[in-house]
Amino acid sequence: MAEPLQPITRSPLYEVVAQRLQEFIAGQSLRPGDRLLSERELAEQLGVSRTSVRQALTALRVKGIVDVRHGDGVYLRQAPADLVPTLASEVANAEIDHPMIWEVREGVEVQAVRLAARRREPEHLDAMRSALVAMERSIAGGGDGVDGDRLFHRAIVDATGNRFFGFLVDLISDAMDRTSEASLTLPGRAPISLQAHREILAAVEEGDEDAAAASMRRHIMVSAEMVVGQQR
């Protein structure tokens, strides 16, 4: 009896781009500290969108291969062959649509924003507002608001007054950043995310722990659903 046809599996485009970039790095014998081509140049040479390049660079940054310096360029941090796998890197390198990452984000950030609503000081609120201004300006200029998003979530963690939250977030920050970038670079997603952030901030300003937690949970769940749907 003939074997049935098997479905064709196709890796997400950013994974293919990331693999090509690693091959390029190895073939050019680049050394740590060397600067790579710009995001625009990489997109042109590979014949893909800048979004795919950005997602690929994010994956390589999480692996510790490149250092993406906003406004400066992309630099080689460590050759792929020199990487030593660790448990932390295995977790961080999980697919951006892996439920594990989003579940951890929900657990950490929902509790963090609840504490932030209870303990926030004026300087914490100022930091959150400034982050949203930066996010809004980026989006208005055609950007994705990633930097402002990162600053906003960090300001919430700082407002908890619990230094162990800071330690924990530092440990998983690469994975968190990667999921945020995957969400914000989706077409039309950035303005929706900005509005969600405003709702979270309003609840924190009011000191409403339940509303802040509900807004954060909704924000993370919607982001997760959109990223998972995009990757499938």
| CATH number of 139's domain | 1.20.120.530
Residue with tokens 């999980």: 94
In this structure, the answer to whether residues 76 and 145 fall within a common structural domain is no
CB pairs under 8 A, 24+ apart, for 100-104?
A: 101/175, 101/176, 101/178, 101/179, 102/179, 102/220, 102/221, 102/223, 102/224, 104/172, 104/175
- Residue 76 CA, chain-centre distance (Å), reads 19
Residue 69 lies in a domain: yes
Cα 166 to Cα 44, 118, 170, 171, 226, distances in angstroms: 39, 17, 6, 9, 27
> Please, what is the average pLDDT of the chain?
84
Nearest CA among 22, 23, 28 for reference residue 63: 22
What pLDDT does residue 229 have?
A: 64
On the question of pLDDT at 91 being above 70, the answer is: no
Contact 128, 190 (CB under 8 A): no
d(CA 232, CA 226): 10
What pLDDT does residue 92 have?
A: 52
Residue 223 lies in a domain: yes
In this structure, the answer to whether residues 168 and 199 fall within a common structural domain is yes
On the question of pLDDT at 222 being above 90, the answer is: yes
In this structure, the answer to whether residues 110 and 205 fall within a common structural domain is yes
- pLDDT classification of 152: cutoffs 50, 70, 90: very high
On the question of pLDDT at 3 being above 80, the answer is: no
Residue 4 lies in a domain: no
Please name the residues in contact with 75: beta carbons below 8 A apart, sequence gap of 6 or more: 33, 34, 35, 36, 66, 67, 69
- pLDDT classification of 113: cutoffs 50, 70, 90: very high
Among the candidates 82, 109, 128, a domain finishes at 82
Residue 132 lies in a domain: yes
Range of the domain at 73: 13-82
What pLDDT does residue 88 have?
A: 47
Among the candidates 82, 115, 139, a domain finishes at 82
In this structure, the answer to whether residues 35 and 101 fall within a common structural domain is no
Contact 175, 205 (CB under 8 A): no
In this structure, the answer to whether residues 138 and 197 fall within a common structural domain is yes
Cα 7 to Cα 4, 167, 215, distances in angstroms: 10, 43, 39
Cα 159 to Cα 54, 57, 107, 148, 184, distances in angstroms: 30, 31, 17, 16, 24
Residue 133 lies in a domain: yes
Residue 5 lies in a domain: no
Contact 155, 200 (CB under 8 A): no
Residue 7 lies in a domain: no
d(CA 145, CA 48): 22
- pLDDT classification of 133: cutoffs 50, 70, 90: very high
In this structure, the answer to whether residues 97 and 188 fall within a common structural domain is yes
What pLDDT does residue 16 have?
A: 85
- Residue 178 CA, chain-centre distance (Å), reads 3
What pLDDT does residue 20 have?
A: 86
d(CA 3, CA 215): 50
Number of domains in the chain: 2
Cα 170 to Cα 32, 33, 61, distances in angstroms: 23, 23, 15
What pLDDT does residue 174 have?
A: 77
Residue 53 lies in a domain: yes
In this structure, the answer to whether residues 63 and 93 fall within a common structural domain is no
In this structure, the answer to whether residues 160 and 217 fall within a common structural domain is yes
Among the candidates 65, 82, 99, a domain finishes at 82
In this structure, the answer to whether residues 207 and 124 fall within a common structural domain is yes
Please name the residues in contact with 181: beta carbons below 8 A apart, sequence gap of 6 or more: 54, 55, 58, 144, 146
- Domain CATH for 76: 1.10.10.10
What pLDDT does residue 145 have?
A: 93
